[in-house]
Amino acid sequence: MTGITLNQVKKSYGNVDVIHGVDLQIEDGEFAVFVGPSGCGKSTLLRTIAGLEDVTSGEIHIGQRDVTHVEPAERGVAMVFQSYALYPHMTVEQNMSFGLRMSKAPAEDIQKRVDEASKILQLGPYLDRRPKALSGGQRQRVAIGRAIVRNPDVFLFDEPLSNLDAELRVQMRIEIARLHQEIGATMVYVTHDQVEAMTLADKIVVLHGGYIEQVGHPLHLYDDPDNQFVAGFIGSPKMNFIDGKVSAVNDSTVSVVLLENESSTISIPLKEQLPTVGEKVILGIRPEHFESAEAGGTQLTLKSDVTEHLGDVTYVYANAPNGERIIIERRAERTAQNGAEITVTIPVERAYLFDADGKRMR
């Protein structure tokens, strides 16, 4: 059993606190993805698990072992970096087997493991090539192969696909997902790309400023974000946020006037704490959840600014009367014109409400 437990992990550089007491449980065999904007601490957190950074305080357990003060090589982890860091003068086979040869593993054992890894990664035809004769995707596969041959309990990936072009990134993403299915090891993966996080993860950990904002299955985070940060980070194009003010509270239904010009009011049922009349709130609605003008309900009339036709889907970038920018996704729409007026309906069951601090109101 090789789950990972972080217990109040803190990391500071001098007097700069980068990770602020993180608690996290990653289950055995789980694919966990740390995602968040640049500088939020995701690489630092991964590197503390690898042992490449010491924690300032807190504990890290891998399986049943407290590894907080254990050397990286003794932690049973293998790491794959963004820069492949292959030895240029060695062949693919020599690169993959280097670590095992250094640790004086028996020759047959090395051969067997390199064969297995090259089969999983379809590197068989390239074993005699040097890195310079490989594409970026093939080089990254060799770097992953080097991790696989060590047969680690845990794989750690630090933005492994960032150096690849868009098409190759999609291809490698699928290969990494397949690799996880095939070998079933615990994997922790760092990315700033929410699409990578959504497509790879069993569990997404959204980080922001050294704090965990929310942990959950990708669709859970999409459907039920705890706060405005997660709501805006998960989903593409991102959720629209519209300023509003509470105009009435009746039983458990809150009426919100949108856009401060009192043009539209929406009534949203809440189960938990109710706001007070006059409180500022933020309404969230995803681009894909607007309905057409014919649907009954709260409507917004907007002026379209830029229209992107992608074939299956059209994105209309529009402006509200108060200048707020709103993105609308339209399917089966080919005629939308720039500068036209567009009326959309906000379905109540798709609307999210946040308080002025960005906390979700449920």
**Closest approach of Cβ 48 to ligand ADP, in Å?**
10
Bond preceding residue 237 cis, omega within 30 of 0: yes
Please name the amino acid found at residue 153: D
Chain-centroid distance of CA 321 in Å reads 33
Residues 287 and 328: beta-carbon distance below 8 Å? yes
User: Phi and psi (nearest 5°) for 335?
Assistant: -110, 0
Closer of 21 and 63 to ligand ADP (Cβ): 21
Closer of 187 and 302 to ligand ADP (Cβ): 187
Residues 92 and 134: beta-carbon distance below 8 Å? yes
Closer of 40 and 351 to ligand ADP (Cβ): 40
**Closest approach of Cβ 38 to ligand ADP, in Å?**
4
**Closest approach of Cβ 122 to ligand ADP, in Å?**
30
Three-class SS of residue 173? helix
**Closest approach of Cβ 132 to ligand ADP, in Å?**
29
Closer of 123 and 198 to ligand ADP (Cβ): 198
**Closest approach of Cβ 50 to ligand ADP, in Å?**
12
Closer of 48 and 97 to ligand ADP (Cβ): 48
How far separated are the first and last CA of the chain, in Å rounded?
Answer: 37
Please name the amino acid found at residue 272: E
Q: Residues for the chain: how many in total?
A: 362
Q: CA-to-CA distance for 354 and 324, rounded, in angstroms?
A: 17
**Closest approach of Cβ 23 to ligand ADP, in Å?**
18
Closer of 41 and 225 to ligand ADP (Cβ): 41
Q: What is the DSSP letter of 167?
A: H
Residues 33 and 198: beta-carbon distance below 8 Å? no
Residues of this chain that bind ligand ADP (CB under 6 A) = 13, 16, 18, 36, 38-44
